[in-house]
Amino acid sequence: MSNIKTAEFVSPKHPDKICDFIADSILDAYLAGDIESRVAIEVMGGHKLITINGEVTSIAKPDIESLVKNIVGSDYKVIINIALQSNEIAQGVDTGGAGDQGIMKGYATDETPEFLPLEYTLARHLCEKIYAVYPFDGKTQVTIEDGVVTTVVVSFQNSKNIDLLPFVKNLITAKEYLINPAGEWVQGGFDADTGLSGRKLIVDNYGPEIPIGGGSFSGKDYTKVDRSGAYMARRIAVDLLKNRNAKTVYTKLAYAIGKKEPVMAVSVIDGKEEDIIDYDLTPKGIREFLKLDKVKYSDTCTWGHFGHDFPWM
């Protein structure tokens, strides 16, 4: 039987990714002024309008409107609606508990040097190389069958097929190339479509073949375990892959709001399940182990959250 897999990637100028970048830039600004800031920011943008909504508890007072306009342009209208974190949630977080319930999944594979699925890394690397020449809105998609690339799809704003096709062929060998299959296009980004933070979860994680917990990352501080827990799950998966000389490792964490310790912490190493031990899986333990108080979060949201030089790898 054949083994067919497909993964996609999007450029930093994709509307959803711009929103992720805005959300994490706002998070960075709060943390720069108050490292204990609790931040949960959602961003929607498009057609000259940016809406910032969410909950923040912090002594920092960043100029959010100026920050956003520096990213998208001074001609955008910016609506900001930020409230304090609710007292009911705060009372659980104040004692070191998780800021919400949730399920986090981690994964590592020996398929690639980044310990990520092959189809995912191919789509990502292709997108990165095209974006270096065409720094605009764009998408890539790679299909492999038994490890061989069969179809490559590329759609990039402000590109000409006569130039883009040979460029892509030089980057990746495939049986079929679909270059701007709907036609060449010049209107992209927020001028063509709206974006929303936390909407490219599969791109942020491991591609569509690997299950994820479902929580988004951008705009959230470490107490939101759907981010910090997912980072920790990835780090544990990579550690176990290396230490056990394994081919694939899945990790699974789950938390209850207000509780420090996870209610589930297991790994599946080459198909064999066992408990995760020897790690402090409390939110504060994760922050210390991964040095999350040192991270510039706007650096994490552009080219996927895993397979880089971040402390969670």
Distance (Å, whole) CA 41 – CA 55: 6
pLDDT for residue 1 is more than 70: no
pLDDT in tens, 149-175: 999 999 999 999 999 999 999 999 999
Residue 32 in domain: yes
What are the Cα distances from residue 112, in Å, to 9, 47, 74, 80, 309?
A: 17, 39, 42, 42, 15
pLDDT for residue 188 is more than 70: yes
Residue 53: which of 166, 194, 197 has the closest Cα? 197
CATH number where 231 lies: 3.30.300.10
pLDDT for residue 68 is more than 90: yes
Residue 53 in domain: yes
107 and 241 part of one domain: yes
Residue 195 in domain: no
- Number of residues assigned to the chain: 313
106 and 253 part of one domain: yes
pLDDT in tens, 19-47: 999 999 999 999 999 999 999 999 999 99
- pLDDT attached to residue 7: 97
Secondary structure E strands in the chain: 4-10, 38-46, 49-57, 77-83, 102-109, 138-145, 148-156, 176-179, 195-196, 248-255, 264-269, 272-275
135 and 154 part of one domain: yes
Distance (Å, whole) CA 189 – CA 12: 10
Distance (Å, whole) CA 293 – CA 291: 5
pLDDT for residue 53 is more than 90: yes
| Count of structural domains within the chain | 3
- pLDDT attached to residue 96: 83
pLDDT in tens, 190-235: 999 999 999 999 999 999 999 999 899 999 999 999 999 999 999 9
Residue 182: which of 161, 152, 208, 151 has the closest Cα? 161
Structure-token pair, residue 223: 């107490």
Residue 251: which of 220, 281, 290, 221 has the closest Cα? 281
82 and 212 part of one domain: no
Residue 59 in domain: yes
149 and 280 part of one domain: no
How would residue 120 be classed by pLDDT, with cut points 50, 70 and 90? Answer: very high
77 and 123 part of one domain: no
- pLDDT attached to residue 88: 67
- The pLDDT of 133-160, averaged and rounded, is 97
What domain range includes position 45?
Answer: 16-89
Distance (Å, whole) CA 292 – CA 39: 14
For residue 8, give the DSSP letter: E
- pLDDT attached to residue 94: 76
180 and 132 part of one domain: yes
Distance (Å, whole) CA 245 – CA 254: 26
244 and 184 part of one domain: no
Residue 255 in domain: yes
Phi, psi torsion values for 246, nearest 5 degrees: -90, 165
Residue type, 105: K
Residue 94 in domain: no
60 and 130 part of one domain: no
128 and 159 part of one domain: yes
62 and 77 part of one domain: yes
| CA angle 269–276–308, rounded 5-degree value | 70
